[in-house]
Amino acid sequence: MIIDKAEVIVTSPDRNFVTLKLTTDDGLSGLGDATLNGRELAVVAYLREHVVPLLIGRDASSIEDTWQFLYRSAYWRRGPVTMAAIAAVDVALWDIKAKAAGMPLYQLLGGASRTGLLAYGHASGKTNDEIFDSIRSHQEQGYKAIRVQSAVPGLNSIYGIASNATFEANKGVRYDHEPAQRGALPNEEDWDTRAYLRHIPTVFEAVRIEFGAELPLLHDAHHRLTPIQAARLGKSLEPYDLFWIEDLTPAENQEALRLVRQHTTSPLAIGEIFNTVWDYQLIIREQLIDYERSAVTHTGGITHLKKVLEFAAQYQIKSGMHGPTDISPVGMAAAMHLGLAIHNFGIQEYMMHGAKTDSVFEQSFTWNDGMLYAGDKPGIGVELDLDEAGRYPYVQAYLPYNRLADGTVHDW
Ligand code: CS2
Ligand code: MG
């Protein structure tokens, strides 16, 4: 089972996706997601120029050796571009191995540890009434856990507010919040931490009054707070019993979470922008988080993320894999197979892709009553329609950035 073809496919149905397709000399093919929102072409170049030439002629069954070869032979280690490229190779090889075995991938990862995967969706609004409507529409779509993002009075823009709500026959009202805006330059947004910290507790108080104490609610602070501001947010949201608060503070400074932990018992989720186990060393060992957010797509694939999650499991930390629309259906399927097999599964983020994306990626995973089901097709259960993909060429798109009132650039 020798790799004799490697294709890097860029397509932009609802948004840009990068997919690696590997084919072996006995006709098996596998897919891997290499999408890095706003930096897609960097991963395309890394794959085409520096990885694909190394793959042709390699034994497709040697997944661990291929991972170690690509990671260590590059000399320069870690980082989102490298680890997304390695992830795509890794998942494509697992897809091939599972197809060769005639099994769904989760069976090769230890089999199912649960029947399905609890998922959460993104509710949002500019006002509490809009937020309530968004929560209700997500409940109608079956979601049993819901992330709540709110506009903040005085701010013109903020992360997480759906740009539009579209109705799709088989999916109901879909809030398409794709933060990467198409254009030659990133958009500038505004930010005011004090206004945010004053407003968010009032939103969750109103949501709890409207929806009661039981509904699992999540919130994403999106990397913007200092450690003491993060501690204040965590403490102020304790009365509303959140399932988690995500990315309260930029976690490159892992020690910052020691201070946050001293002040609040709100569960913490970190890691969607991490890409190796080394990013988690201290915060897992000192139990400074409760959920580990990495996506298969950004963290070196199944092979590496499984190791990170096994490390996290020793500290009773659970998975909360990143799953916005910039994780392609290939990346989502890989996450589902891994999430089904591991013991310390927590929750899966699930933003439904649009109809055009579904026309490019034929998916066999299913969604029912708030749960995701990986399916039992051999491999990861996703196929890519090359002709359909060719209808949607790449469109430059960048994530926004923030500036404070005095013009200082701030984390977005
Ligand atoms: C967000 C993402 O889903 C989340 O938790 O943080 O939407 C993030 O903004 C995008 O993935 C960035 O590409
Ligand atoms: Mg997030």
Q: How confident is the model at residue 170, as a pLDDT? A: 61
240 in active site: no
Question: Could you tell me the distance, in angstroms and rounded to a whole number, from the CA of residue 129 to the centre of ligand 2?
Answer: 23
308-338 pLDDT per residue, tens: 999 999 999 999 999 999 999 999 999 999 9
Can you give the pLDDT at residue 163?
65
Residue 403 inside a domain? The answer is no
The number of the ligand nearest the C-alpha atom of 323 reads 1
Secondary structure of the chain in the HEC alphabet? CEEEEEEEEEECCCCCEEEEEEEECCCCEEEEECCCCCCHHHHHHHHHHHHHHHHCCCECCCHHHHHHHHHHHCCCCCCHHHHHHHHHHHHHHHHHHHHHHCCEHHHHCCCCCCCCEEEEEEEEECCHHHHHHHHHHHHHCCCCEEEEEECCCCCCCCCCCCCCEEEECCCEEEECCCCCEECCCCCEEECCHHHHHHHHHHHHHHHHHHHCCCCCEEEECCCCCCHHHHHHHHHHHHHHCCCEEECCCCCCCCCHHHHHHHHCCCCEEECCCCCCHHHCHHHHHCCCCCEECCCHHHCCHHHHHHHHHHHHHCCCCEECCCCCCCCCHHHHHHHHHHHHHCCCCCCEECCCCCHHHHHHEEECCEEECCEEECCCCCECCEEECHHHHCCCCCCCEECCEEECCCCCEECC
Answer yes or no: do 151 and 216 share one domain.
yes
Nearest residue by C-alpha to atom 12 in ligand 1: 37
Give the model's pLDDT for residue 390.
Answer: 98
Residue 172 located in a structural domain: yes
372 occurs within a structural domain: yes
Q: Are residues 75 and 169 in the same domain?
A: no
Residue 18, Cβ density class (10 Å: 0-12 exposed, 13-18 middle, ≥19 buried):
buried
Report the CATH number that the domain containing residue 72 is assigned in CATH: 3.30.390.10
Centroid of ligand 2 to alpha carbon of 220 (angstroms): 5
26-49 residue pLDDT tens: 999 999 999 999 999 999 999 999
Q: How far is the CA of 324 from the centre of ligand 1 (A)?
A: 6
Residues 166 and 295 in one domain: yes
Q: What is the pLDDT of residues 191-217, one digit of tens each?
A: 999 999 999 999 999 999 999 999 999
Q: How confident is the model at residue 161 (pLDDT cuts 50, 70, 90)?
A: confident
Q: Which residues have any ligand 1 atom within 6 Å of their CB?
A: 37, 179, 220, 222, 246, 272, 322, 324, 326, 349, 399
Residue nearest to atom 4 of ligand 1 (CA): 324
Which of these three, 78, 103, 128, is where a domain ends? 103
**383 assigned to some structural domain:** no
pLDDT digits (tens, 9 = 90+) for 47-99: 999 999 999 999 999 999 999 999 999 999 999 999 999 999 999 999 999 99
pTM to 2 decimal places:
0.97
Confidence class for position 341, pLDDT limits 50, 70, 90: very high
Provide the CATH number for the domain around residue 357: 3.20.20.120
222 is catalytic: yes
CA of 104 to the centre of ligand 2 (A): 29
Query: Does 196 share its domain with 95?
Result: no
Rounded to the nearest integer, the mean pLDDT of the chain is 95
Shared domain check, 21 and 130:
no
User: Among 35, 69, 103, which residue terminates a domain?
Assistant: 103
- Do residues 89 and 213 share a domain? no
Residue 360 has pLDDT above 80, yes or no: yes
Residue 222 lies in a domain: yes
Among 103, 138, 173, residue at a domain's last position: 103
Average pLDDT of the residues in 102-124: 97
- Same domain for 199 and 344, yes or no, is yes
Among 37, 223, 347, residue to substitute to test ligand 1 (most atoms within 8 Å of Cβ): 37
Q: Say yes or no: 87 and 213 in one domain.
A: no
Q: What is d(CA 221, CA 232) in angstroms, rounded to the nearest whole number? A: 12
Query: What residue numbers bound the domain in which 25 lies?
Result: 3-103
Alpha carbon nearest to ligand 1 atom 8, residue: 324
Number of domains in the chain: 2
Percent of the chain with pLDDT over 90: 93
Question: Do 302 and 191 fall within a single domain?
Answer: yes
In a domain, 307, yes or no: yes
Same domain, 99 and 127: no
Of all protein residues, the one whose alpha carbon is nearest to atom 13 of ligand 1 is 37
Shortest-distance atom of ligand 1 to CA 38? 13
Using the mean position of ligand 1's atoms as its centre, give its distance from the Cα of residue 330 in Å.
Answer: 17
pLDDT category at 160 given cuts 50, 70, 90 is: confident
* Same domain assignment for residues 153 and 91: no
Name the closest ligand to CA 175: 1
What is the percentage of the chain residues whose pLDDT exceeds 70? 96
**Residues 189 and 150 both lie in one domain:** yes
